[in-house]
């Protein structure tokens, strides 16, 4: 009972604090909503495009063929083979991985082992190539010879651990 009241109490407390300090909370709310809509406008076209591309790949049978090809290795590692397309897309595109995750969860259900594994995989891995390019670019690192294999190994460890954690906790 008390735990269900924490979020509303925090919102109420922050709102009261802002009002007592003389801030216009309605204007702040509108500014935040406007910024959120701007983000949505930037993200939705990419998600729609990626969902269309994933649907075409799935309809062509390419993703299922890849999943079947990976089935023996994934069975050995305890990873649901249905997640194979996600493992390929995730290092390259966060939006693409999210679109693939949505597709897998709608196909197998969010409460299924595949759905739960996908959710944990999305939360425990990174868009490796994007992150490496941004971080190395900001830090001025030009030699990424060992960074990419290490990051991809960490992603793979994340996939295996995610699958093991879901199976262990079910």
The closest alpha carbon to 105, from 83, 87, 125, belongs to: 83
Contact 50, 95 (CB under 8 A): yes
The verdict on residue 19 lying in a domain is: no
The gap from C-alpha 21 to its chain's centroid, in whole angstroms, comes to 38
Distance CA 132, CA 91 (A): 10
Q: Is residue 147 part of a domain?
A: yes
pTM comes to 0.66
Q: What is the pLDDT of residue 83?
A: 92
* Spatial distance between the Cα atoms of 37 and 22, rounded to a whole number of angstroms: 26
In the chain, the number of structural domains is 1
The tens digit of pLDDT for each residue in 68-89 reads 888 899 989 999 998 988 998 8
Asked whether residue 14 is assigned to any structural domain, the reply reads no
Residue ranges in 61-112 assigned as alpha helix (H): 62-77, 84-89, 94-108
For the chain, helix (H) and strand (E) counts, in that order, are: 8, 0
pLDDT of the residue at 155? 93
Q: What is the pLDDT of residues 88-129, one digit of tens each?
A: 889 888 888 898 899 999 999 999 999 999 999 999 998 888
Whether 105 is covered by a domain: the verdict is yes
Establish if 10 belongs to a structural domain.
Answer: no
Is residue 118 assigned to a domain?
Answer: yes
Residue ranges making up the domain that contains 48: 44-169
- Of 162, 61, 158, the residue nearest 113 (C-alpha): 162
| 161 domain-assigned | yes
Looking at the chain, the whole-number percentage of residues with pLDDT higher than 90 is 36
Q: Tell me the average pLDDT across 3-27.
A: 89
Asked, for residue 22, whether it belongs to a domain, the answer is no
């Amino acid at each position: 009972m008390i735990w269900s009241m924490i979020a509303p109490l925090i919102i109420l407390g922050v709102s009261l604090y802002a009002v007592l300090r003389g801030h216009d909370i309605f204007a702040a709310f509108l500014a935040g909503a406007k910024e959120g809509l701007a983000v949505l406008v930037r993200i939705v076209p990419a998600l729609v495009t990626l969902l269309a591309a994933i649907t075409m790949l799935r309809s062509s049978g390419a993703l299922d063929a890849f999943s079947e090809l990976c089935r023996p290795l994934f069975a050995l590692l305890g990873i649901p083979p249905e997640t194979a397309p996600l493992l390929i897309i995730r290092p390259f595109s966060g939006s693409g991985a999210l679109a693939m995750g949505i597709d897998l969860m709608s196909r197998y259900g969010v409460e299924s082992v595949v759905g739960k594994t996908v959710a944990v995989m999305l939360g425990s891995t990174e868009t490796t190539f994007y992150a490496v390019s941004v971080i190395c670019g900001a830090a001025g690192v030009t030699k990424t010879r060992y960074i990419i294999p290490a990051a991809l190994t960490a992603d793979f460890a994340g996939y295996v651990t995610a699958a093991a954690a879901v199976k262990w906790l079910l």
